[in-house]
Structure 1
Amino acid sequence: MAGSALDTTPEVDSSPEEARARLVDRLLADGRIASPEVEAAFRRVPRHLFAPDEVSVDAAYADDVVITKRGPDGRATSSISAPWLQAMMLEAARLQPGGRVLEIGSGGYNAALIAEVVGPRGMVTSIDIDSDIVANARAALDIAGYPNVQVVQVDSATGWPAGAPYEAIVVTVEASDIPPAWADQLAPDGVLVVPLRMRGNTRCLTLTRDGDHLTATDSVLCGFVPMQGAGANPVTRRALRGDDVTLRIDDPDTRSLDLDALTPVLDGPRVDAWSEVTVPPATSFESLHLWLASQPHPYGLLAVDRDRAVDLDPQNWVSCPALLTGDSIAYLTIRQLDDTTWEFGARGYGPHAAPLTQHVVDLITVWDRDHRHQPGPDIRVYPTGVTIPPTRQPQLLVPRHHTTTAITWTAAGDHR
Structure 2
Amino acid sequence: MIRSEAVEAAFRRVPRHLFVPAGTSIEEAYSADAAPPTKKDVEGQIISSVSAPFLQAQMLEQAQLHPGASVLEIGSGGYNAALIAEVVGPAGRVVSVDIDPDVTAWAREALDASGYGNRVETVCADAEHGLAGSSVFDAIIVTVGAWDIPPAWLTQLDHDGTLSVPLRMNGVTRSIAFARQADHLASTSAEVCGFVPMQGLGERRERVLQLPDGHGRYVRLRFDTGAPEDPNLLDGVLADMKVRVWSGVEFPNGVSFADLHLWNACFLPGFCKVAADEGTELAQDRKSWFPFGCVFIDSFAYLAVRPAMDGAGIEFGAGAYGPNGEQAAAAMVEQIQAWDRRARRGPVPTFGFWPDGSDRSHIPDHVALLEKHHGLVTVSWPRASRP
Considering the TM-score relative to the shorter chain, is it more than 0.5?
A: yes
- Aligned pair 1:396/2:368, yes or no? yes
In the aligned structure 1, how far is the partner of 2:24 from the partner of 2:184? 42
Per-residue deviation, 1:313: 4.6
- Scaled by the length of structure 2, the TM-score of the pair is 0.93
Q: Counterpart of 1:294 in 2: which secondary structure?
A: helix
Cα gap change, 1:329 to 1:308, in 2 (>3 Å): closer
Kindly provide the amino acid, as one letter, of the partner of residue 158 in structure 1.
H
Of stretches 220-229 and 242-251 in structure 1, the one that deviates more from structure 2 is: 242-251
**Residue identity in the other structure for 2:22:** D
Name the counterpart of 1:38: 7
Please show how residues 2-21 of structure 1 align to structure 2 within 5 Å: none
- Structure 2 CA distance for partners of 1:315 and 1:192, relative to 1, 3 Å: farther
- Structure-1-length-normalised TM-score: 0.87
Relative to structure 2, which stretch is displaced further, 369-378 or 100-109? 369-378
Deviation by residue 1:353-396 (Cα, 9 ceiling, x = unmatched): 21221221121112112211223323111112434235442x33
Who is 2:205 aligned against?
234
Deviation of the 1:328 alpha carbon:
1.1
Contact kept, 8 Å, 2:233 with 2:298, in 1: the verdict is yes
- Residue 312 of structure 1, CA deviation: 5.5
What aligned pairs does 1:81-120 form with structure 2 within 5 A after superposition? 81-120=51-90
- Quickly say closer, same or farther: Cα 1:161–1:215, change in 2 above 3 A: farther
The 2-side partners of 1:112 and 1:146 are apart by 6
User: Who is 1:13 aligned against?
Assistant: none
- In structure 1, the residue matched to 2:160 is 189
> Gaps spanning 5+ residues in structure 1: where?
1-31
Tell me the equivalent position of 1:18. Answer: none
Per the alignment, residue 96 of structure 2 pairs with 126
| CA drift at 1:308 | 3.5
Residue of structure 1 equivalent to 2:219? 245
User: For the residues of structure 2 that align with 1:37 and 1:315, how far apart are their CA atoms?
Assistant: 42
Q: For residue 156 of structure 1, what is the aligned residue in structure 2?
A: 127
3-state SS of the aligned residue for 2:113? helix
Structure-1 separation of matches of 2:48 and 2:219: 25
**Worse-superposed segment, 402-411 or 55-64:** 402-411
Of residues 282, 297, 300, the one that matches 1:326 is: 297
Higher relative contact order, structure no. (Cα contacts within 8 Å, ≥ 6 residues apart): 2
**Per-residue displacement from partner, 1:275-312 (whole Å, max 9, x unpaired)?**
11111212100000011111162221101235543356
Structure 2 partner of 1:58: 27
Instruction: Out of 100-109 and 146-155, give the one that drifted further.
Output: 146-155
**Preserved CA contact (<8 Å) 1:194 1:206:** yes
1:263 CA drift (Å): 3.7
- Counterpart mapping for 1:68-87 below 5 A: 68-87=38-57
CA RMSD, Structure 1 to Structure 2 (Å): 1.9
Residues 1:305 and 2:277 aligned together: yes
Unaligned runs of 5+ in 2: none
Deviation of 1:163 (Å): 3.6
More deviation, 259-268/281-290: 259-268
Distance 1:332 1:353 in 2: 13
CA pair 207-249 structure 1, distance change in 2 beyond 3 A: same
**1:346 partner amino acid:** A
**1:410 aligned residue (374, 382, 387):** 382
Relative to structure 1, the CA distance from residue 357 to residue 156 in structure 2 (aligned partners, 3 Å threshold; closer, same or farther) is same
Distance change in 2, residues 1:358/1:228 (3 Å): same
Identity of counterpart residues, as a percentage? 44
Secondary structure at the aligned position of 2:198 is classed as coil
Where does residue 258 of structure 1 map in the other structure?
230
Q: Distance in 2 between matches of 1:98 and 1:232?
A: 32
Deviations 1:105-154 (A, max 9, x none): 00000000000010100000000000011011001101100122100000
Q: Spell out, residue by residue over 1:191-211, the C-alpha distance to the aligned partner (whole angstroms, 9 max, x if none).
A: 000001110111111111011
Contact 1:314 1:332 in 2 (8 A): no
CA distance in 2, matches of 1:97, 1:277: 47
What per-residue deviation string (whole Å, max 9, x for no partner) do you get for residues 152-176 of structure 1?
0000212225442111100000000
Instruction: Pick closer, same or farther for the CA change 1:186–1:369 going to 2, 3 Å.
Output: same
Residue of structure 1 equivalent to 2:138: 167
Higher mean C-alpha deviation, range 159-168 or range 45-54: 159-168
Picking from 306, 320, 344, the partner of 1:348 is: 320
**Aligned mates of 1:351, 1:366 — CA distance in 2:** 25
Q: Deviations over 1:52-88 (max 9, x none)?
A: 1021111111122111100001110101111011001
Assess if the C-alpha contact under 8 Å between 1:161 and 1:185 holds in 2: no
Letter paired with 1:240: L
8 Å CA contact 2:76, 2:98 repeated in 1: yes
Amino acid in the other structure paired with 2:83: L
Cα distance per residue 1:22-49 (max 9 Å; x no partner): xxxxxxxxxx111110000000000010
2:258 is equivalent to residue 282 of structure 1: no
* Native 8 Å contact 2:268 2:294 kept in 1: no
Q: Distance in 1 between matches of 2:61 and 2:351?
A: 20
After TM superposition, the structure 1 stretch with the greater mean CA deviation from structure 2, 140-149 or 241-250, is: 241-250
Q: Which amino acid aligns with 2:211?
A: L
1:189 maps to amino acid:
D
Q: CA deviation at 1:316?
A: 5.0
CA distance in 1, matches of 2:167, 2:129: 17
